[in-house]
């Protein structure tokens, strides 16, 4: 028995609807619905609600409360209602939109239908399947201590046949589910995925209309592992095994086993399950339509919230004209990542002196690199997940003492952080480990991944395809960076400021690092770039290319600690004046952040507050050391001069851009096809972690256990692999710290140039025209939206 080509194509298409989720050590923000952007957001929301119970909006009660608080105004609500062709007077509109929405049941898989008829005294089919499949995947894919019967990672047993082998030997399933003869049915399953699919399609009577929805529903039912396997495919699309098809086969095998088991036993529940199954398959399109109708009020409220936020930001952006007077020559320049957390420290630094200039630039600083530790097989990406590294950087010399110390600490950290060792390590170390925990509690100090600790005064080898870059190559690389950076007149000191976080005992620590650096800090990038730009031969070559950097200008690698707002300069001694500016900027940023982190720190001295921030970052029991990128809502592509006088409250990504120096708009094209997409990924990860935390959030971080060292986390000791943000990253326990609104992108450039770029790139067009983000042209004192190839006032 075999599938036909159409059936195989429908299953493959279903697997492609799952977005990737990066592992813990390379954690970056991802739009969990990235693979569905070819459809309108509202269409996707309705379909996912219907087939998986996924929520893309907040409860109506939350929006109503925000309306009463003034966060949503009447005009924005009316405008949103009109967008959905709902025309009513304000009073009746509020009444209509405040009514509870009908509760609709999503698509039910065979296991779900069987659970409806199952005695409460027995283990749920659904829960046991999720637990069994998830635990097996953790065992199959974990890399810390492989338990598979294999000699190397290149000789792995494929997922589905390995699962079948283990499951046919697992007598415990029959005992746990209290179904004595269940285990025998697994022996009758084929060992080949295609044969299994063909069998299930025939016996479950799946036609071409219901098959793709069913397959997608099965994958979403174990979305955590589906997302991780999508990441494996993203990293290696030519892998011999299609991991997601194997996972789908496992889920479908369980469905087939339940179907056969209930029917073979002449179970009185079987008839009801069959009827419900047949009706569901025949009415899936009507089912989706009902969900679309039921979501109308939530869609109007969500849109009204976005309109209200955009109205406030539009008013702020057009409230004042920026100064055109000639400014003093810059006394200090600092180039920061566009990350929203940089907006606060940039304002605080600029406040110190009018002649201090800051710039916003993509956090990987335009370097398409991977970092490979010298004399080691270890390597990691230092660029956004959307891009692939083309250049490798490594240290020129190994500091033997430093390397040995870090290697020793890495072994301890690897043992202590692996899932099987979570409790065994404490037991093995006995009272000594208790002393260690007591010491860490009273005298905490910073804990970082050993792989992130670079030796001081590092010199760099830069290679491409195994060959060292020539001076000409380095100069071309540097020119591309400087052209995009947009510095017109160089100060004596130019800080290249990457960023990283400072946390202890945090499995999601990489998620607080620089997403543009592949979940790593930006330290490597700024150190490599500063070495390039300070190289006399590279500068000489740049001079012939038309870029004249003054001889007295020094580029300084620096790092912004987003948890404590400390600015650290590497391999460079700052002047007393510069040190004072950096210190005062830190104090100012800390005071602003204290409002959300700990209001009791507002009325203490700067030094006391700073000490408290350090203690908070070192505290191994601290569940929310910082709020990360929570509450992000806008991406502004414009000269800093246009936003310098504005308090954007740490909610906007800021990338410097001057269209007058971009003759062919090539720089703008790169910004719309890379940094904007990264900002969208971040925005949607936060949005969906709030609106559906069960499916797209990772739960309570206090209960997290690492899976396979770096694969991901379980909440507790089982269930699905959890993806997305922990609850402590988006809520203070009472209020959401992130407002779920789609990203609003503001561009200071000619409308014709923007439209031309959008027309060239299908992905960008889909994001705009399918309502995944908003795109605005901001010129002079006017803001116009670009939507469906038209400009709207």
Helix (H, G, I), strand (E, B) or coil at 739: coil
Return contacts of 407-415, CB within 8 angstroms, 24+ apart: 407/450, 409/450, 410/450, 410/451, 413/449, 413/450, 414/144, 414/709
Q: Are 420 and 145 in contact (CB under 8 A)?
A: yes
Helix (H, G, I), strand (E, B) or coil at 707: strand
Q: Residue 569 is encoded by which pair of tokens?
A: 């300069």
The closest alpha carbon to 365, from 542, 189, 521, belongs to: 521
37 CA to centre of own chain = 16
CB-facing half-sphere around the CA of 402: CA atoms within 13 A:
15
The closest alpha carbon to 590, from 332, 359, 347, 361, belongs to: 347
> Is the torsion defined by CA of 130, 131, 136, 138 positive or negative?
positive
Residue written as tokens 């071309």?
A: 476
Q: Are 747 and 668 in contact (CB under 8 A)?
A: yes
Calpha distance 84→86 (Å, rounded): 6
Q: Residue 706 is encoded by which pair of tokens?
A: 């690492």
Q: Are 125 and 111 in contact (CB under 8 A)?
A: yes
Strand 652-655 and strand 493-500: the pairing is: unpaired
Residue written as tokens 């120096």?
A: 661
Calpha distance 48→55 (Å, rounded): 8
Write out the DSSP string of 80-134.
Answer: HHHHTT----HHHHHHHHTSPPPP------HHHHHHHTS-TTS--HHHHHHHHHH
Calpha distance 527→536 (Å, rounded): 16
Calpha distance 518→385 (Å, rounded): 6
- In this structure, the number of other CB atoms found within 10 A of the CB of residue 2 comes to 10
The closest alpha carbon to 125, from 168, 179, 172, 165, belongs to: 179
Q: Determine if residue 777 is labeled as part of a ligand binding site.
A: no
Calpha distance 19→169 (Å, rounded): 33
Sheet harboring 493-500: ordered strands across?
356-361, 332-337, 493-500, 554-561, 567-569
Q: Residue 229 is encoded by which pair of tokens?
A: 């396997």
C-alpha separations of 27 from 145, 396, 636 in Å: 21, 28, 25
How many helices (H) and strands (E) are present in the chain, helices listed first? 31, 18
Q: Determine if residue 339 is labeled as part of a ligand binding site.
A: yes
Helix 536-544 vs helix 523-534: angle between axes, to the nearest 10 degrees? 70
Q: Where are the alpha helices (DSSP H) in 632-782?
A: 666-673, 675-691, 693-696, 751-760, 762-769
Calpha distance 151→208 (Å, rounded): 41
Q: Is 696 exposed, middle or buried (0-12, 13-18, 19+ CB in 10 A)?
A: buried
Q: Determine if residue 337 is labeled as part of a ligand binding site.
A: yes
The closest alpha carbon to 386, from 634, 654, 681, belongs to: 681
Q: Are 332 and 581 in contact (CB under 8 A)?
A: yes
Q: Is 95 exposed, middle or buried (0-12, 13-18, 19+ CB in 10 A)?
A: exposed
Q: Are 32 and 696 in contact (CB under 8 A)?
A: yes
Helix (H, G, I), strand (E, B) or coil at 489: coil
Calpha distance 380→373 (Å, rounded): 9
Residue positions forming the annotated binding site: 337, 339, 499, 514
Residue positions forming the annotated binding site for Zn(2+): 337, 339, 499, 514
């Amino acid at each position: 028995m075999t599938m036909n080509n159409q059936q195989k194509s429908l299953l493959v298409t279903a697997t492609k609807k799952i977005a990737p989720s990066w592992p813990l050590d390379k954690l970056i923000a991802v739009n969990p619905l990235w693979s569905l952007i070819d459809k309108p957001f509202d269409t996707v929301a309705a379909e996912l609600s219907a087939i998986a119970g996924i929520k893309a909006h907040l409860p109506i009660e939350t929006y109503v409360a925000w309306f009463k608080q003034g966060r949503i105004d009447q005009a924005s609500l009316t405008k949103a209602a009109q967008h959905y062709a709902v025309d009513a007077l304000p009073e009746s509109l509020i009444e209509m939109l405040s009514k509870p929405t009908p509760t609709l049941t999503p698509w039910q898989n065979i296991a779900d239908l069987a659970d409806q008829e199952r005695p409460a005294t027995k283990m749920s089919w659904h829960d046991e399947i999720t637990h069994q499949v998830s635990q097996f995947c953790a065992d199959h894919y974990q890399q810390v201590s492989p338990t598979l019967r294999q000699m190397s990672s290149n000789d792995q047993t494929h997922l589905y046949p390995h699962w079948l082998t283990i499951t046919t030997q697992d007598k415990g399933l029959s005992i746990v589910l209290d179904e004595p003869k269940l285990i025998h049915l697994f022996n009758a399953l084929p060992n080949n995925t295609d044969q299994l699919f063909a069998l299930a399609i025939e016996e479950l009577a799946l036609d071409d209309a219901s098959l793709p929805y069913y397959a997608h529903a099965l994958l979403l039912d174990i979305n955590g592992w589906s997302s991780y396997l999508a990441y494996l495919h993203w990293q290696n699309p030519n892998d011999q095994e299609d991991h997601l098809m194997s996972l789908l086969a496992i889920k479908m095998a369980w469905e087939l086993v339940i179907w056969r088991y209930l029917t073979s036993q002449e179970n009185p529940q079987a008839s009801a399950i069959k009827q419900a199954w047949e009706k569901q398959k025949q009415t899936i399109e009507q089912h989706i339509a009902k969900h679309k109708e039921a979501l109308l009020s939530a869609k109007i409220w969500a849109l009204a919230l976005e309109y209200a936020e955009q109205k406030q930001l539009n008013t702020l952006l057009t409230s004042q004209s920026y100064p055109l007077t000639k400014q003093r020559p810059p006394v200090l320049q600092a180039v920061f990542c566009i990350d929203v957390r940089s907006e606060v420290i940039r304002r605080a630094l600029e406040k110190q002196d009018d002649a201090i200039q800051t710039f916003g630039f993509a956090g990987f600083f335009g370097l398409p690199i991977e970092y490979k530790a010298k004399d080691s097989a270890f390597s990691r990406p230092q660029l956004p997940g959307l891009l692939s590294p083309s250049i490798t950087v490594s240290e020129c010399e190994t500091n033997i003492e430093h390397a040995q110390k870090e290697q020793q600490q890495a072994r301890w950290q690897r043992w202590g952080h692996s899932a099987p060792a979570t409790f065994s390590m404490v037991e093995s170390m006995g009272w000594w480990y208790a002393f260690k925990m007591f010491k860490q509690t009273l005298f905490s100090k910073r804990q970082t991944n050993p792989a992130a600790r670079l030796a001081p005064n590092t010199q760099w080898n830069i290679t491409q395809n195994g060959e060292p870059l020539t001076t000409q190559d380095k100069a071309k690389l540097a020119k591309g960076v400087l052209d995009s950076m947009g510095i017109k007149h160089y100060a004596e000191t130019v800080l290249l400021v990457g960023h990283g976080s400072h946390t202890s005992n945090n499995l999601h620590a990489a998620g607080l690092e620089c997403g543009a650096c592949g979940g790593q800090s930006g330290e490597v990038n700024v150190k490599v770039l500063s070495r390039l730009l300070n190289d006399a031969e590279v500068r000489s070559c740049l001079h012939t290319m038309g870029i004249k950097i003054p001889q007295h200008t020094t580029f300084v690698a620096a790092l912004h600690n987003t948890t404590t707002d400390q600015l650290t300069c590497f391999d460079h001694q700052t002047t007393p004046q510069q040190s004072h500016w950096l210190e005062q900027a830190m104090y100012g940023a800390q005071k602003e952040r204290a409002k959300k982190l700990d209001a009791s720190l507002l009325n203490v001295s700067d030094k006391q507050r700073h000490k408290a921030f350090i203690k908070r970052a070192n505290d191994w029991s601290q569940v929310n050391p910082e709020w990360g990128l929570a509450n992000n809502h806008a991406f502004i592509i414009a000269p800093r001069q246009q936003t310098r006088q504005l308090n954007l409250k740490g909610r906007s990504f800021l990338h410097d851009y001057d269209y007058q120096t971009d003759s062919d708009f090539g720089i703008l094209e790169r910004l719309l096809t890379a940094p904007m997409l990264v900002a969208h990924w971040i925005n949607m990860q936060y949005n969906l972690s709030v609106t559906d935390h069960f499916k797209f959030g990772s739960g309570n971080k206090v209960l997290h256990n690492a899976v396979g060292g770096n694969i991901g986390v379980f909440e507790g000791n089982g269930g699905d692999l959890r993806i997305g943000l922990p609850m402590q990253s988006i809520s203070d326990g009472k209020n959401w710290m992130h407002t779920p609104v789609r990203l609003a992108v503001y561009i200071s450039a000619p409308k014709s140039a923007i439209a031309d770029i959008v027309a060239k790139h299908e992905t960008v067009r889909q994001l705009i025209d399918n309502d995944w983000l908003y795109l605005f042209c901001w010129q002079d004192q006017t803001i116009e939206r670009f939507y469906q190839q038209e400009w709207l006032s």
